[in-house]
């Protein structure tokens, strides 16, 4: 119904998604301490930490939103991009971008995919994470903490940026259909349902070699999650807080991963979650009519079929005050 629900630490208000403005939502994005919702009329709502103005989103004609740690990005219907929030490293300097079809954001950099398959990026570039100028034939982009990944039309993958843990070692990947990037590892879903992963794997987060029949992947800070075609879920990596204990889940249609928790959406609109439950980020047992879920660092957000939203978790900055309507 397009409403949204959220649970977890709410010290900043990142779970306050119950107001009338949070309805008719069609897409949600979660930053470190704020939550963003795209409405079906192209307007955007945001709650949570607004110290840098990352929730000042009085935009129109938006078709996609993305959230970095302390900034928010909006893709407009004309292919231009707008941003608000922290701009210490130039991550909001997108004023000259045109013909953009997808945006991605991570800690302090922003990435845009152009209609011709080339890529632009702005923000902190101390490790080369914005060195995407030579990329061509890209169909999807993903942003990790200090690296950027691009999926090419031929199923191969390119990556640039911090590589001390090997998270950019994707040159041998083929037949990839989807990519995901997080702090220190990169994940690729292959057309045959298997998964590849590179990067930091000290906790086993890249041990996906035996997976099969996977239709979606999600990556937390130190764990990796795969949704199988039969609706079951597999997960590897850091399990100190039980964030990989999804082996008993069934009938799942979407998965999302936060820093230390994992979320699953069921076809009846209910939601399940495992992992660290500090701030209540896994308290989703009463959610109904949900059609999309997202996991932030310390909070969880759900988009309802009536376009409203719910959220739980850390709300110190109001990032859960999402009483929105008509979000898409």
pLDDT, position 13: 83
d(CA 134, CA 155): 17
- CB of 292 closer than 8 Å to CB of 306: no
* pLDDT tens-digit readout, 222-277: 999 999 999 999 999 999 999 999 999 999 999 999 999 999 999 999 999 999 99
d(CA 34, CA 241): 23
Contacts 24+ apart (CB under 8 A), 128-134: 128/160, 128/161, 128/162, 129/160, 129/161, 129/162, 130/160, 130/161, 131/160, 131/161, 132/160
* Block residue for tokens 């999402």: 322
* pLDDT tens-digit readout, 86-137: 999 999 999 999 999 999 999 999 999 999 999 999 999 999 999 999 999 9
Domains along the chain? 4-326 (2.130.10.30)
* Block residue for tokens 């964030």: 243
User: 107 versus 20: which is more confidently predicted?
Assistant: 107
Write down the mean pLDDT value for the chain.
95
* Strand 22-30 with 324-326, pairing: parallel
- CB of 302 closer than 8 Å to CB of 27: no
- Rounded (10°) CA dihedral 222, 84, 38, 182: -10
Q: Which of 52-56, 180-184, 221-225, 310-314 is predicted with the least confidence, judged by mean pLDDT?
A: 310-314
How buried is 139 (Cβ within 10 angstroms: 0-12 exposed, 13-18 middle, 19+ buried)? middle
The torsion angles phi and psi of 222, rounded to 5 degrees, stand at: -135, 25
Q: Which of 10-19, 121-130, 201-210 is predicted with the least confidence, judged by mean pLDDT?
A: 10-19
């Amino acid at each position: 119904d397009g409403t949204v629900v959220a649970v977890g630490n709410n010290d900043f208000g990142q779970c306050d998604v119950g107001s009338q403005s949070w309805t008719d939502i069609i897409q949600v994005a979660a930053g470190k301490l704020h939550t963003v919702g795209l409405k079906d009329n192209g307007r955007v709502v945001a709650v949570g930490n607004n110290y840098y103005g990352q929730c000042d989103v009085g935009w129109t004609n938006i078709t996609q939103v993305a959230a970095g740690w302390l900034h928010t990005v909006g893709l407009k219907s004309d292919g231009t991009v707008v941003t608000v929030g922290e701009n210490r490293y130039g991550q909001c300097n997108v004023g000259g971008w045109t013909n953009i079809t997808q945006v991605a954001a991570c800690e302090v950099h922003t990435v845009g995919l152009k209609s011709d398959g080339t890529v632009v990026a702005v923000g902190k570039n101390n490790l080369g994470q914005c060195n995407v100028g030579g990329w061509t034939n890209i169909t999807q982009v993903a942003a990790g903490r200090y690296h950027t990944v691009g999926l090419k039309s031929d199923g191969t993958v390119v990556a640039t940026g911090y590589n001390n843990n090997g998270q950019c070692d994707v040159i041998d990947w083929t037949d990839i259909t989807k990519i995901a990037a997080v702090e220190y590892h990169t994940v690729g879903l292959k057309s045959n349902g298997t998964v590849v992963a590179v990067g930091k794997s000290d906790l086993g987060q890249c041990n996906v070699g035996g997976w099969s029949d996977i239709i979606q992947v999600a990556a937390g800070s130190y764990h990796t999650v795969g949704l199988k075609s039969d609706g079951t879920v597999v997960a590897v990596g850091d399990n100190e807080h039980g964030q990989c204990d999804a082996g008993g889940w069934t009938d799942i249609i979407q998965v999302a991963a936060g820093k230390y928790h994992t979320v699953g959406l069921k076809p009846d609109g209910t939601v399940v979650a495992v992992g660290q439950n500090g701030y209540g980020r896994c308290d989703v047992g009463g959610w109904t009519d949900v059609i999309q879920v997202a996991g932030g660092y310390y909070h969880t957000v759900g988009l309802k079929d009536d376009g409203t939203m719910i959220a739980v978790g850390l709300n110190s900055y109001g990032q859960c005050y999402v009483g929105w309507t008509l979000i898409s």
